[in-house]
């Protein structure tokens, strides 16, 4: 008896740096200023369907470093991947796009952010490892509480 259910397909088509910017609005004066710097790191995950079986997933990092109220540098980077996803139950798509895809592209983002900061003349900023399963669960909980 032939199996009428097609096997699920999950393949990486491409991983790429979608955008990156680095600003040093207070250079050169801030570069010789003494003081403890504060680093604020924000992450965001997104996805969109680009064709029937192709999806783009993105992870965006914003790294803002300040001394007092003055910006030392600001880096914004968006790492993306194109994934072929077929024959997957609809209730599993959110998990794949919100956990599996970001987990694959995040190491590239970490490297690109560290490299950009270092090339700008600063010690590299190493983004921490992220538990995308926990982040996905938090997003679901926030969405549920916002709709309640």
Write the CATH number for 32.
Answer: 3.10.420.10
∠ CA 8-14-16 to the nearest 5 degrees? 140
DSSP SS3 for 88: coil
**Residue range 2-6: average pLDDT?**
61
Structurally, the chain folds into a number of domains equal to 1
Q: Is residue 138 part of a domain?
A: no
pTM for the structure as a whole: 0.86
Q: Is residue 3 part of a domain?
A: no
- Per residue in 52-75, pLDDT (tens digit) is 999 999 999 999 999 999 999 999
Q: Is residue 71 part of a domain?
A: yes
* pLDDT level of residue 1 (50, 70, 90 thresholds): very low
- Per residue in 72-127, pLDDT (tens digit) is 999 999 999 999 999 999 889 989 999 999 999 999 999 999 999 999 988 888 89
Q: CA–CA separation, 135 vs 73, rounded Å? A: 26
Q: Is residue 61 part of a domain?
A: yes
Q: Which two tokens stand for residue 46?
A: 């997104």
Mean pLDDT in the chain?
91
Q: Is residue 142 part of a domain?
A: no
Q: CA–CA separation, 146 vs 148, rounded Å? A: 6
Longest dimension (CA), the chain: 75
Q: Is residue 22 part of a domain?
A: yes
Q: Which range of residues forms the domain containing residue 117?
A: 9-125
């Amino acid at each position: 008896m032939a199996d009428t259910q097609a096997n699920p397909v999950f393949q990486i088509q491409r991983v790429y740096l979608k955008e990156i910017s680095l600003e040093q609005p207070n250079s050169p004066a801030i570069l010789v200023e003494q003081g403890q710097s504060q680093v604020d790191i924000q992450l965001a995950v997104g996805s969109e369907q680009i064709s029937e079986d192709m999806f783009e997933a993105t992870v965006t990092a914003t790294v803002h470093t300040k001394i007092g109220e003055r910006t030392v540098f600001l880096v914004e980077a968006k790492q993306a991947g194109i994934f072929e996803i077929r024959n997957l139950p609809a209730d599993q798509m959110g998990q794949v796009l919100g956990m599996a895809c970001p987990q694959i592209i995040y190491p590239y983002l970490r490297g690109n952010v560290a490299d950009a900061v270092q090339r700008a003349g600063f010690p590299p900023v190493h983004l921490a490892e992220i538990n995308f399963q926990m982040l996905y669960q938090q997003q679901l909980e926030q969405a549920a509480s916002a709709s309640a």
